[in-house]
Amino acid sequence: MFESYHCEKLEKTLHFLPDGVKFCCSCAEGTGIKINDFSKFNKEEIIKGKKKYIDLLKKGYIPKECKGCIEYKKNNLYKKIKSIFIKQHKNKITHIIIDHFKQCDSNCIYCSQKKLFSERTQNYELLPIIKQLYEQNMIDTENLKVEFQGGNISELKEFEDLMKEFYEHNCDDFVILMNGIKYIPILEEIGNNWKSHICISLDAGTKETYKKIKNIDAFDQVIENIKRLKQKSKAQISLKYIIIKDVNDNKEELEKFLNVAKEIGNIQPLHLEIDYNDTLLSPGTRFDIPKHYYELFEEAENYCRKNNISYKVFPYTKHILKQGYSI
Ligand SMILES: C[S@@+](CC[C@H](N)C(=O)[O-])C[C@H]1O[C@@H](n2cnc3c(N)ncnc32)[C@H](O)[C@@H]1O
Ligand code: SF4
Ligand code: SF4
């Protein structure tokens, strides 16, 4: 029987970028499918665009934009039969990624955004588009997850209005990536149900290293902001440590970071990562994972186990650690 595929991200995601809207998420390895013309941000064009690619996959054809991506999956017999009868392109949006803004109040040495988008500006306002999507009944209000990437939300002028729009439509599922340098009061309202998750990349255990990495002297301020937010909201807060070669890739710094996480209390999860400039962002260049990186991962995992902190490593990072290199 014929092959057939589907991609859940394609069916249910809208990822707003500075130069267009993508139909799937940025962590996907394929280049993804985009509408670059802002005048085509409307129901008809979005449905038409998604349908075209959903149908190609359904018929067993892998579009060039999806080549190399790990997200499309083979349909089993049941799915194949179901896909003939159910019009999947009628699925509503359950995942919105807000990533159209690149303004930031920090200047991290590792920032992937500098490589991908040299302009630190914003080309369009998203609020009118979100309003339109709600009006046109394109959003699955019961299951919507909203993820803020960026840039940093503290510099996004429409952040508060966007949050209000989502709150008004009973959205209670947010993932917010931020640097935590400025305190943002509207965040106090999220997370009453423990679904939402705010991830702060601290990347250091001391003021000195923090300043070296972020080019701003704000370590203490970030810790204070995290503590304040934890007091005022029920949001789940996670902390990230990106291992950067010759900067924070040593046990002393990591141990101090782990102690800071423990002292803040109830950090869920603690997330260790390897600088993408050495891995994902250098395709074609082999990066052998240094031996001492394994010790750092082991140390963090043991510390978290002992102190009852959940610990997270992304599947891609687990994969390159197991393999010993990235390429
Ligand atoms: C570009 S940032 C935007 C959000 C926010 N400004 C922040 O720093 O958390 C989105 C996510 O990408 C991560 N990131 C950026 N550059 C990276 C790199 N070179 N390697 C690994 N993660 C990176 C950050 O840690 C953050 O969680
Ligand atoms: S297979 Fe990958 S690139 Fe293609 S639509 Fe899905 S997530 Fe995007
Ligand atoms: S805070 Fe985030 S967006 Fe800003 S420079 Fe650092 S990684 Fe990049």
Task: State the pLDDT at residue 183.
Answer: 97
pLDDT category, 33, cuts 50, 70, 90? Answer: low
Report pLDDT digits (tens) over 297-320: 999 999 999 999 999 999 889 999
CB 111 less than 6 A from any atom of ligand 1: yes
Q: In this structure, are 254 and 298 located in the same domain?
A: yes
Q: In this structure, are 21 and 161 located in the same domain?
A: no
Atom 12 in ligand 1: which residue has the minimum CA distance?
Answer: 112
Instruction: Decide if pLDDT at 88 tops 60.
Output: no
pLDDT category, 28, cuts 50, 70, 90? Answer: very low
Determine the angle formed by the axes of helices 207-214 and 219-232, rounding to 10 degrees: 100
Q: Domain residues for 200?
A: 95-326
Give 271's contacts (C-beta < 8 A, 6+ positions apart). 199, 238, 239, 240, 241, 311, 312, 313, 314
Listed residues 89, 123, 139: the one ending a domain: 89
Q: In this structure, are 110 and 29 located in the same domain?
A: no
Between 41 and 218, where is the model more confident? 218
CB 33 less than 6 A from any atom of ligand 2: yes
CB 7 less than 6 A from any atom of ligand 2: yes
Per-residue pLDDT, averaged over 83-95, amounts to 69
Nearest of 162, 211, 164, 155 to residue 184 by alpha carbon: 155
3-state helix, strand, coil in the chain (%, to 5): 40, 15, 45
Q: Evaluate the CA torsion angle 95, 152, 196, 124 in order and state its sign.
A: negative
Q: What are phi and psi of 96, to 5 degrees?
A: -115, 125
Report pLDDT digits (tens) over 104-163: 999 999 998 877 777 777 888 999 989 989 998 999 999 999 999 989 999 999 999 999
Nearest of 271, 272, 203, 205 to residue 236 by alpha carbon: 271
Per-residue pLDDT, averaged over 194-211, amounts to 93
Q: What is the DSSP string of 223-245?
A: HHHHHHHHHH---EEEEEEEE-T
Strand partners, 177: 199
Q: In this structure, are 201 and 251 located in the same domain?
A: yes
Give the number of the atom of ligand 2 that is nearest the alpha carbon of residue 53. 5
Q: In this structure, are 99 and 201 located in the same domain?
A: yes
Q: In this structure, are 12 and 106 located in the same domain?
A: no
Q: In this structure, are 82 and 112 located in the same domain?
A: no
- C-alpha 327/C-alpha 179 separation (Å) is 29
Give the number of the atom of ligand 1 that is nearest the alpha carbon of residue 104. 6
Task: State the pLDDT at residue 199.
Answer: 96
Q: In this structure, are 101 and 36 located in the same domain?
A: no
Listed residues 89, 104, 135: the one ending a domain: 89
Listed residues 57, 89, 121: the one ending a domain: 89
CB 57 less than 6 A from any atom of ligand 2: no
